[in-house]
């Protein structure tokens, strides 16, 4: 009896934390992230041939465009990337998830945003409101290394609005 | 027979008389029209007559609708050389459409405006957009002091952005203002316009507290290459000069289960669309869990468009 209980609790501990938040409803599919990563798969391309090096250092030669400016705790790659298998992301409890499940890494800190995302309040859902819609993962819009909002140019106002403004100035 | 009954019968007789007179007048004009049409050499010449005598959308039979759609398609083919398909998807039972817009997420990039124009075949010159994005001062809800002509990099630190389009009100002032019933609310909540019945008086435009209705002062111009061939009779078919038009939540898309064009174009995910009667829909989740703000709530129009924070 005791053994069964221990086994059960052991199972529960092995379960990743993010699972406790219900996954998005069945009426959406989450758009896979890996096809849009230019350098995927990281292992096949390079890292299988490189020895894992967890030490903090200045990156030279490669990944020099990555500026890490995400909070005060995320100060090194291995916080989110699995050091010995760079095709996988790492959760705080040590379990590994695919890049397609990157939202589960985010959910560890941004629990409220994640809850909103599972309900469709936050984030982009396109395709269909009735059948199966397509929902973008966090990483489709947010750069996890430097998540600060950037500005971009608005499309020009329609000529009609410009005319209206001139009218107002004439008044 | 009581006096009341007598009056009633008299009234009915009068109504019947008027109906008969109208019917005979219509028959006369129809005969005249048919005669002219026969005299004319091409079918295109007969079209103005058929346009003129076309009945109100709600009185059309399915057969008549098919004929009308075919005629309109032929007119577009004649004028623009583009093959379009005019459809008339019906409201879906148990569906009431609603829109929710995240004011904290919108960056005011106007992608929705242009996607809407493209989808709905609105005039490119003069430029006519259903959506108007207001650049609002942070900390203020005063739309009167908003700016609609901002340009350049967005979002700025001092502003937030509030796109405004037709709110598909439950108690729509535009519908009440229309003297000829050319605009009405469909069972799924979408307020539509019969462009062939509209007389262009613009009373509805004046009645709308959201400035959401647009009038074709000039012949709308759309390049043939830019015409969206998937058209709905009550939504994005090409409009003539002198009629009102407005956002219809892209009913030719949404009644087939798709999302509106503005939502598909939004890069920030601030637009949420769905069935208000479905408790699991995104809009219902927004309304139930977020702080929701209704623009001009004091106007009492009870819109199906909600702004929310977060």
What pLDDT does residue B17 have?
47
Point out which residues pair with B183 in neighbouring strands: B193
Tell me whether residues B281 and A25 touch, CB distance under 8 A. Answer: no
Structure tokens at B95: 């569906």
Give yes or no for B281 touching A (CB within 8 A).
yes
Tell me whether residues B113 and A155 touch, CB distance under 8 A. Answer: yes
What's the whole-number mean pLDDT along residues A100-125?
A: 92
3-class SS string, chain B: CCHHHHHHHHHHHHHHHHHHHHHHHHHHHHHHHHHHHHHCCCHHHHHHHHHHCCCCHHHCCHHHHHHHHHHHHHHHHHHHCCCCEEECCCCCCCCCEEEEEECCCCCCCCHHHHHHHHHHCCCCCCCCCCCEEEEEECCCCCHHHCECCCCCEECCCCEEEEEECCCCCCCCHHHHHCCCCCEEECCCCCEEECCCCCCCCCHHHHHCCCCCCEECCCCCCCCHHHCCCEEECCCCCCCCCCCEECCCCCHHHHCCCECCHHHHHCCCCCEEEEECCCCCCHHHHHHHHCEEECCCHHHCCCCCEEEEEC
- Tell me how close the Cα of A121 comes to any Cα of chain B, in angstroms: 6
Give yes or no for B310 touching A (CB within 8 A).
yes
What pLDDT does residue A148 have?
87
Chain B positions touching A164 (Cβ under 8 A) are: 148-149
At A30 the three-state DSSP class reads strand
Give yes or no for B118 touching A (CB within 8 A).
no
What's the whole-number mean pLDDT along residues A68-89?
A: 89
Confidence category of residue A72, pLDDT binned at 50, 70, 90: confident
Closest chain A CA to residue B105: A122
Residues A148-170 have pLDDT tens digits of 888 999 999 998 666 555 544 44
What's the whole-number mean pLDDT along residues A83-94?
A: 92
Tell me whether residues A141 and B274 touch, CB distance under 8 A. Answer: no
Q: Chains A, B: CB contacts under 8 A, how many?
A: 111
What pLDDT does residue A75 have?
84
What pLDDT does residue A18 have?
43
What pLDDT does residue B280 have?
87
What pLDDT does residue A39 have?
84
Give yes or no for B289 touching A (CB within 8 A).
yes
Give the percent of chain A with pLDDT over 70. 78
Give yes or no for A121 touching B (CB within 8 A).
yes
pLDDT top residue among A73 and B122: B122
Main-chain dihedrals φ then ψ at residue B112, nearest 5 degrees: -65, -40
Residues of chain B numbered 89-108 and touching chain A (CB < 8 Å): 102, 105, 107-108
In contact, B265 and B107? CB cutoff 8 Å: no
Residues A26-54 have pLDDT tens digits of 578 888 888 888 888 898 988 989 888 88
Residues of chain B numbered 120-149 and touching chain A (CB < 8 Å): 125-129, 132, 148-149
What pLDDT does residue B31 have?
57
Structure tokens at B55: 């009945």
- Tell me how close the Cα of A144 comes to any Cα of chain B, in angstroms: 16
Chain A positions touching B127 (Cβ under 8 A) are: 158-160
> Given A151, A153, A158, which is nearest B129 (Cβ)?
A158
What pLDDT does residue A132 have?
85
- Tell me how close the Cα of A153 comes to any Cα of chain B, in angstroms: 4
Chain B positions touching A154 (Cβ under 8 A) are: 108-110, 150-154
In contact, B148 and B282? CB cutoff 8 Å: no
A interface test, pick of B153, B259, B280, B288 with most A CB neighbours within 10 Å: B259
Closest chain B CA to residue A142: B268
B153-163: buried (b, 16+ CB within 10 Å) or exposed (e) per residue?
A: ebbeeebbbbb
Q: Where are the domains of chain A?
A: 15-51+65-141
Q: What is the ipTM of this complex?
A: 0.80
> Given B151, B254, B267, which is nearest A157 (Cβ)?
B151
> Given A125, A151, A159, which is nearest B282 (Cβ)?
A125
Confidence category of residue A171, pLDDT binned at 50, 70, 90: very low
What pLDDT does residue A162 have?
61
Rounded to an integer, what distance in angstroms lies between the CA atom of residue A58 and that of residue B224?
Answer: 56
Tell me whether residues B259 and A27 touch, CB distance under 8 A. Answer: no
Tell me whether residues B151 and A126 touch, CB distance under 8 A. Answer: no
Main-chain dihedrals φ then ψ at residue B62, nearest 5 degrees: -60, -35
What pLDDT does residue A163 have?
57
Give yes or no for B263 touching A (CB within 8 A).
yes
Q: In this model, does residue A20 exceed pLDDT 50?
A: no
- Tell me how close the Cα of B205 comes to any Cα of chain A, in angstroms: 16
Q: Where are the alpha helices (DSSP H) in chain A?
A: 2-14, 42-45, 102-107, 111-119, 138-141, 159-170
Rounded to an integer, what distance in angstroms lies between the CA atom of residue A110 and that of residue A16?
Answer: 16
Tell me whether residues B266 and A124 touch, CB distance under 8 A. Answer: yes
pLDDT < 70 regions, chain B: 1-47
């Amino acid at each position: 009896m005791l053994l069964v209980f221990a086994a059960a609790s052991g199972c529960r501990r092995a379960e990743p934390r993010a699972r406790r938040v219900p996954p998005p409803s069945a009426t959406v599919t989450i758009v896979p992230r890996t096809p849009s990563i230019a350098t995927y798969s990281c292992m096949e391309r390079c890292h299988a041939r490189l020895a894992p090096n967890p030490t903090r250092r200045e990156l030279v030669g490669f990944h020099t465009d990555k500026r890490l400016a995400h909070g005060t705790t995320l100060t090194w790659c291995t916080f989110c990337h699995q050091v010995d298998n760079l095709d996988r992301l790492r959760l705080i409890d040590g379990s590994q998830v695919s890049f397609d499940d990157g939202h589960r890494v985010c959910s560890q800190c941004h629990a409220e945003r994640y809850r909103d995302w599972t309900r469709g309040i936050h984030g982009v859902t396109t395709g269909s409101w009735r059948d199966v819609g397509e929902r973008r993962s966090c990483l489709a819009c947010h750069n996890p290394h430097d998540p600060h909002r950037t500005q971009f140019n608005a499309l020009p106002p329609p000529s009609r609005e410009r005319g209206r403004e001139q009218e107002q100035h004439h008044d | 027979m009581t006096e009341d009954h007598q009056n009633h019968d008299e009234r009915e007789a009068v109504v019947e008389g008027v109906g008969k007179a109208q019917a005979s007048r219509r028959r006369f004009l129809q005969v005249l029209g048919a005669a002219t049409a026969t005299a004319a050499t091409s079918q295109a010449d007969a079209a103005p007559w058929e346009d003129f005598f076309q009945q109100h959308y709600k009185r059309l039979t399915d057969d008549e609708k098919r004929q009308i759609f075919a005629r309109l398609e032929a007119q577009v083919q004649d004028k623009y050389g583009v093959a379009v398909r005019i459809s008339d998807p019906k409201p879906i039972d148990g569906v009431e459409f609603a829109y929710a817009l995240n004011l904290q997420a919108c960056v005011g990039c106007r992608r929705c405006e242009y996607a809407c124009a493209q989808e709905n075949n609105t005039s490119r010159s003069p430029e006519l957009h259903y959506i108007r994005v207001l650049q609002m001062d942070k900390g203020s809800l005063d739309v009167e002091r908003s700016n609609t002509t901002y340009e350049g990099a967005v979002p700025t630190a001092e502003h937030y952005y509030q796109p405004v389009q037709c709110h598909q009100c439950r108690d729509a002032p535009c519908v009440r203002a229309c003297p000829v019933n050319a605009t009405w609310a469909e069972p799924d909540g979408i307020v539509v316009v019969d462009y062939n019945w509209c007389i262009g008086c613009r009373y509805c435009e004046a009645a709308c507290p959201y400035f959401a209705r647009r009038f074709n002062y000039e012949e709308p111009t759309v390049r043939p290459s830019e015409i969206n061939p998937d058209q709905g009779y009550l939504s994005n078919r090409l409009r003539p000069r002198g009629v009102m038009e407005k956002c219809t939540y892209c009913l030719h898309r949404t009644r087939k289960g798709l999302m509106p064009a503005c939502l598909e174009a939004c890069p920030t995910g601030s637009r949420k669309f769905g069935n208000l009667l479905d408790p699991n829909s995104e809009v219902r989740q927004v309304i139930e869990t977020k702080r929701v703000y209704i623009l001009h709530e004091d106007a009492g129009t009870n819109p199906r468009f909600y702004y929310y924070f977060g």
